[in-house]
Structure 1
Amino acid sequence: MQPLLSAKDLYVRYGAVEAVRGVSFELQQGEIVALLGANGAGKSSIMNAITGLVPTASGQVMFDGKDITGSAPESLAPAGLTLSPEGRRVFGTLSVADNLRMGAFALTDKDAISAAWDRVYDLFPILRERKDQYAGTLSGGQQQMLAVGRALMSNPRVLLLDEPSLGLAPLIVDQIFDLILKLRDQGVTLLVVEQNVAKTLQVADRAYVLVSGEVVEQGKPSQLSESGTMQDAYLGAN
């Protein structure tokens, strides 16, 4: 079966530094796939390369049978691929509703836009309650919900989640991982970068472990939990 999203021999460089070195992975439709590894392992660089936010030095990214390597970021949401970035990056001086509206720029059909609003507000009732509030005044957990909601406004087939639980209280972390499962049940395919390994392995179908920009192991969560590679990745990576 052809993967919905894949990368082959992906390299990302920042000057003389190779942040990603020959990474290959794939997602089948309906999967939750995780990229795991310590800080500096190259996870966010992979996400940014997929979405065209940083240039790809070499390699290929395929989405839905098409080569999207080096595509402009704004071209990907209309195609069905969106990113919820690390650090949330909401527009603090805009309202919650205006932040969400920016996520729907790829939609032109009024019914589709209306359905997107309903979906996001059903997933995050607090955003409906605070739709007129400035995003910068929300709590960290609410800003994360807003960042995910904004990415969902274009009705993506694949959602990239970069550190969705970073810096959040344990109760909110549980809600974020429940959301990941709910989105998969709604037909969204997810690529997740996360530092919370235990929680991630509870929801992921498969995972890739990275050390210093390279994939050192891949497999199902049950296989990786029993492997010493995971511990080495977090204790020994640069």
Structure 2
Amino acid sequence: MEPLLKVSSLHVRYGAVQAVRGVDFEIREGEIVAFLGANGAGKSSTLNAIAGLVEAHAGTIEFAGRDITDLAPETLTPLGLALSPEGRRVFPALSVAENLLMGAYSVKDKTKVKDAWERVYSLFPILHDRKDQLAGTLSGGQQQMLAVGRALMSGPRLLLLDEPSLGLAPLIVEQVFELITILRDQKVTIALVEQNVAKSLEIADRGYILSGGQVVGAGAASDLMSEGGLEDTFLGA
């Protein structure tokens, strides 16, 4: 069975700085795959390259059997790929409902948009309660829910989650990780970049460990959790 996402020899540069150095990995349909590593390891740059937000200097990115390496971000959403970015990046001057609608810009069928709204509101009842409230007035946890909900509005086959628990209170962090497992049950494949290593490996099927822009470890989440040496990776050793 072909992987849903296949990344081969990916390189990403920001000027003279090489953030990602020849990364290879695959994600199969229905999996949660965690990308782990210290700050600056290349995790977010990898996700942003998949989403078309940064240019792949070299290598290939294949999604559902199609080469998407050089495609613009707005062309990827209709193909079934969506990103919930680090830092939430909601539109503060728009209402909750308007933010969600922005995530469905590629969906032309009004019935599908209505169904997507209902799905998101069932996952996040607080968003329904505050659908007319300006997004900029929401709490950090509510904004994170909105960012994930917005990404779900297009009905993605693959959801890229970049640091979904960053800066959130412990109770909200638990809710975020519970949501991720619910999404897998709903047949959403998930690529997860997350600083909370323990929680990530609890819910993930597999993981890749990045350091210095390279994959330095990979395996089943249960194996990675039991392996020694993870501390060295996160301390930059």
Q: TM-score, normalised by structure 2?
A: 0.99
Equivalent residue number for residue 89 of structure 1: 89
- The number of residue pairs the alignment matches comes to 237
Question: What does the per-residue CA deviation read over 1:215-238, in whole Å, with 9 as the maximum and x for residues that have no partner?
Answer: 00000122112222311110125x
Question: What does the per-residue CA deviation read over 1:100-125, in whole Å, with 9 as the maximum and x for residues that have no partner?
Answer: 01000010112111110100000000
User: 3-state DSSP class of the match of 2:11?
Assistant: strand
Q: Distance in 1 between matches of 2:221 and 2:73?
A: 31
- Letter aligned with residue 143 of structure 1: Q
Equivalent residue number for residue 195 of structure 2: 195
How does 1:31-110 map onto structure 2 within 5 Å? Answer: 31-110=31-110
Shift of 1:65: 0.3
- Letter aligned with residue 186 of structure 1: Q
Shift of 1:209: 0.2
What root-mean-square deviation, in Å, do the aligned CA atoms of Structure 1 and Structure 2 show? 0.7
**Structure 2 residue 18 is the aligned partner of structure 1 residue 10:** no
- Letter aligned with residue 192 of structure 2: V
My pick for the range that moved more, 86-95 or 218-227, is 218-227
What residue ranges of structure 2 are gaps of 5+ in the alignment? none
Shift of 1:146: 0.1
User: 3-state DSSP class of the match of 2:154?
Assistant: coil
Equivalent residue number for residue 119 of structure 2: 119
Q: TM-score, normalised by structure 1?
A: 0.98
**Structure 2 residue 196 is the aligned partner of structure 1 residue 181:** no
Equivalent residue number for residue 162 of structure 2: 162
Q: Distance in 2 between matches of 1:230 and 1:60?
A: 28
Contact 1:49-1:70 at 8 Å conserved across structures: no
Question: What does the per-residue CA deviation read over 1:35-80, in whole Å, with 9 as the maximum and x for residues that have no partner?
Answer: 0000000000001100110110000000000000021000011110
Contact 1:217-1:229 at 8 Å conserved across structures: no
Equivalent residue number for residue 139 of structure 2: 139
- Letter aligned with residue 213 of structure 1: G
Shift of 1:178: 0.3
